[in-house]
Structure 1
Amino acid sequence: MFSYRHAFHAGNHADVLKHLVLIGIVKHLTQKPAPLLVVDTHAGAGLYRLDDDYARTSGEAADGILKLVDATLAEPAPAITDYLEAVRGVNRSGALKLYPGSPFVIQPLLRQEARDRLKLFELHPTDSQALVAHVAQLEAGRQVSVARQDGFEALKALLPPPSRRALVLIDPSYEIKSDYAKVVACLQDSLKRFSTGTYAVWYPIIPRPEAHDVPRRLKTLANQAGKPWLHATLAIGQREEPDPVGLEERRRPGLTASGMFVINPPHTLKPALSAALPQLLEVLGRGRGKAQTLESGG
């Protein structure tokens, strides 16, 4: 159960998509004066080194943040600019050595004066311990809290929030098949408790029936609840050039596509992604199967 470590995947194309969407949502929601509660049900370690053994072993950041930073876009979409600023914000020396997980993407956008709050949950013992240490560096006081709990279960006690404004990020490892069903059940329960909250779900696009069912089932939930939704996907495609590593690695190409499904999205999110996704594909796409999609409903 505890074998998954996001450090192997930090800064990959899926993180680029997830965090770009997340920034767009938080920036919009913090424009209103009322306090905002943000909940990250599977927060991971919060901060990752791009030059440690985990990142070097996978090399996934090379097809994600590192490629995007090195790209030359004549007119970068504002969402891409915001995302790159967030990444550079944790790399004060200028060299790109650190990658911010969702907690470190979200926290700088929150407001002390409005009493915004960030609740972080992580069950993995090592990552939970690292998360506590990393969050302490923020010196954010009561604005950020960390708990070693099952985020699916812990979320129930937080909804609805007193301010009636919340963003929930649901991003499990999907290491076990039951995670897919838990995501859908969590959204179904959350919409009953707090139907006006904004819910963002990341999921991998892989050849597994449970993964293909996620967006379909979430669309059904949103439509039944009469809530608007937005669904964005990014597939970088397969490598066309020979892989420089060994045959065994070529048999395991890694994740090539992922999606973000948002219920009750800000009205600004769709136009922002309409401008950003084609540019992400232009920079990160690498061969056969590359594609991006954006659809909405409700």
Structure 2
Amino acid sequence: MNYRHAFHAGNHADVLKHITVLALCDALVAKPAPVFALDTHGGRGLYALDSNSAQRTGEAEGGIGRLIAEAPKHPAIARYLAAVRACRHDHGSAAYPGSPWLLAHALREQDRIAACELQPEEAGQLRAVFERDPRVAVHTRDGYAAMKALLPPRIGETRYNRGLVLIDPPYEAQLEEFDTALGALRDALGRWPQGTYALWYPIKLRRSLQPFYRRAAALPAKSSLVVELQVRPDDSPLRMNGSGLLVLNPPWQLDQTLAGVVPLLAKVLGEEAGAAGRVEWLVRAA
């Protein structure tokens, strides 16, 4: 794989994804039972927005940079910005947290996290981030294979009935990645049907996503929610015009929380006319 998230850290897609991840974690820890989280494509876990990679694209300026400057009023946005500040307090003013860092930040002492990264160099960086955190196990392995190996989660004598699987692939295979991801989700739901699953995906041409929506709605989950943000019209196959998350078995009221967030993000992060967002059910539990 050639993809390196360091070029894209803190962009509009990260903002949407990470606000959603924190909202999911906060819902999970609202109950006392221990939680297991699996991040299938963890990257390096921590990024420097003053690095050559980040500066070359400047994407963070249109994402976390703009959101910090505007800081629209919403509890979920405030929660996310507080997590970014906490990361910068620990790691410097240009730091930006990846999803494994945010999981570790939001979850508790009794919870456990598995973070996977296939690229050895990135996995080494990820391991260094968590070398003193016994809650986090870093695996240099394919994340889809880890879903088969680690679900249903059991660590020692503890079986985890609640938790989150975050699937955030680079989509180097483009639309073929959806086939792999949906197959992995179907298998995982058979292994751990009560888990919450979140699949991130890019939006270029929306019409090309229609088969994905139909197949996602047919997965054996009790409920399926899509959360999307477009910063430009979805009419070009050559650039990422937005992104979304398919959330299976979302916690109670997640849709209401994010329905208040997405329009604010579209207003602040939108780059052209046509910026928009949506939070809609593909399948709603009875």
User: Where do residues 6-85 of structure 1 align in structure 2 (5 Å cutoff)?
Assistant: 6-73=5-72, 76-85=73-82
Q: Structure 2 CA distance, aligned partners of 1:126 and 1:258?
A: 27
Contact 1:234–1:257 at 8 Å: present in 2 too? yes
User: Where do residues 240-251 of structure 1 align in structure 2 (5 Å cutoff)?
Assistant: none
- The count of residues paired between Structure 1 and Structure 2 equals 275
Does 2:102 match 1:105? yes
User: % of aligned pairs identical?
Assistant: 41
Q: Structure 2 CA distance, aligned partners of 1:252 and 1:227?
A: 32
For 1:229, the equivalent position in structure 2 comes to 224
How far off is 1:132 after superposition? 1.0
Q: Structure 2 CA distance, aligned partners of 1:22 and 1:72?
A: 19
- Which of 181, 184, 209 is the equivalent residue of 1:183? 181
Contact 1:88–1:94 at 8 Å: present in 2 too? no
Deviations along 1:4-54, whole A, 9 cap, x unmatched? Answer: 000000000000000000100000101111110000000001000000010
Does 2:165 match 1:168? yes
Q: Structure 1 CA distance, aligned partners of 2:12 and 2:103?
A: 18
Distance 1:233 1:193, change over 3 A: same
**Any gaps of 5 or more consecutive residues in structure 1?**
239-250
Give secondary structure in 1 for the equivalent of 2:65. Answer: helix
Does 2:246 match 1:261? yes
Distance 1:226 1:22, change over 3 A: closer
Q: Structure 2 CA distance, aligned partners of 1:91 and 1:226?
A: 37
For 2:212, the equivalent position in structure 1 comes to 214
Q: Structure 2 CA distance, aligned partners of 1:12 and 1:92?
A: 20
Distance 1:280 1:8, change over 3 A: same
Does 2:126 match 1:128? no
The one-letter code of the counterpart of 2:84 is: V
Q: TM-score, with normalisation over the residues of structure 1?
A: 0.87
For 1:150, the equivalent position in structure 2 comes to 142
What value does the CA root-mean-square deviation take over the aligned residues?
Answer: 2.0
Q: TM-score, with normalisation over the residues of structure 2?
A: 0.91
**Any gaps of 5 or more consecutive residues in structure 2?**
154-158
The one-letter code of the counterpart of 2:200 is: W
How far off is 1:64 after superposition? 0.3
